[in-house]
Amino acid sequence: MKTSVSMYSLDQYVREHHWDVFDFIQFAKSIGCDGVELLDMYWCEAADIARVVGYLERENMPVAAYDTSNDFVQVTAEERKQQVAKVKRDIDIAAHLDTKVVRIFCGDQKKCIHYSQGLQWIQECMQECVDYAEKRGIQLAIENHGFFAGRSHQVHQMISDINSPYLGCTYDTGNFLLVDESPISALEVLKHHVKHVHFKDFLKVPDDFQGNTIKGVSGTKWVGAIAGQGEVDLQRIIHVLKQVGYTGWYSIEYEGLDDSKESVKKSMSKLMALV
């Protein structure tokens, strides 16, 4: 088992303390992570890539996954073409970073686009990206996230329709709660397609909770929690993944309101205790 942390977990420090990728890598190493998960949204310029690769090598910190923040649900063919081109660029970056997994999204709901039409466009774009990823030896991993891929059956259907060993899922342990689906039940659907894991927890809070919350599809309010302090049965999830022979990365993704450095440290301690 390999442990990682997503840079998104430290977004608070990126915004408030001006952390860059190098600060993040050093922090991840200091808390005992085996590697790091990097995101497209934190690059400043293309020249950063070579510097980051060198730094990762010196610190002996491999990249667990590289995350592209795409949205294939676009009205015009030109916009969809641009999104595909973006994913291809991010696949190239992943290859430079020597990681074999790119976390990918499907797309966001648009009022002017019917569900079936959006789904068709997603599949067309995804197919082109998978074909390109195969040429680069990269596996795309759909995260259970959003209107078109929030539920396990949606992710499974897309993987089945494309039917390629280069397409699987990023199993996010927390996101299924937002669509009123049990993370354990969802894992039963997706367990043979997991390429990457976001190790995350959410806590249900009352309607009058003071603070930023994430609202689920049924109106339930959630906040990010330190791993093991929320609603997700993380121990059971790890047990199931071990049973099916998953040997990939467990990457902490913290989305809570407390200090993110301390919360990630505690989440890492929980992860290590469970495995």
Contact assessment for residue 33 and residue 4, using Cβ atoms and an 8 Å cutoff: yes
- pLDDT value of residue 143: 99
Q: 44: how many CB neighbours lie within 10 A of its CB?
A: 8
Q: pTM of the entire structure?
A: 0.97
Those residues with Cβ within 8 angstroms of residue 4's Cβ, 6 or more apart along the chain or in another chain: 28, 33, 34, 35, 36, 37, 64, 65, 249, 250, 251, 252
- Nearest CA to 158 among 182, 126, 132? 126
Sheet with 221-225: strands ordered across? 201-205, 221-225, 214-215
- Kindly list the distances between the CA atom of residue 246 and the CA atoms of 192, 193, 241, 249, in Å, as whole numbers in the listed order: 8, 10, 5, 9
Query: Which sequence spans correspond to the domains of the chain?
Result: 2-274
DSSP E strands, the chain: 2-6, 35-39, 63-67, 101-104, 139-143, 167-172, 194-199, 201-205, 214-215, 221-225, 249-252
Q: Is 202 exposed, middle or buried (0-12, 13-18, 19+ CB in 10 A)?
A: buried
Task: Pull the structure tokens for residue 122.
Answer: 């997603």
- pLDDT computed for residue 44 by the predictor: 64
Q: Tokens 């290590």: give the residue.
A: 272
- 194-199 and 214-215 as β-strands: parallel, antiparallel, unpaired? unpaired
Q: Which two tokens stand for residue 34?
A: 């085996």
For residues 73 and 138, give the distance between their C-alpha atoms in angstroms, rounded to a whole number.
23
What CA–CA distance (Å, rounded) separates 36 from 69? 17
CATH class of 2-274: alpha beta
Distance CA 87, CA 64 (A): 17
Provide the pLDDT for residue 1.
Answer: 86
pLDDT by residue, tens only, the chain of 275 residues: 899 999 999 999 999 999 999 999 999 999 999 999 999 999 867 678 999 999 999 999 999 999 999 999 999 999 999 999 999 999 999 999 999 999 999 999 999 999 999 999 999 999 999 999 999 999 999 999 999 999 999 999 999 999 999 999 999 999 999 999 999 999 999 999 999 999 999 999 999 999 999 999 999 999 999 999 999 999 999 999 999 999 999 999 999 999 999 999 999 999 999 98
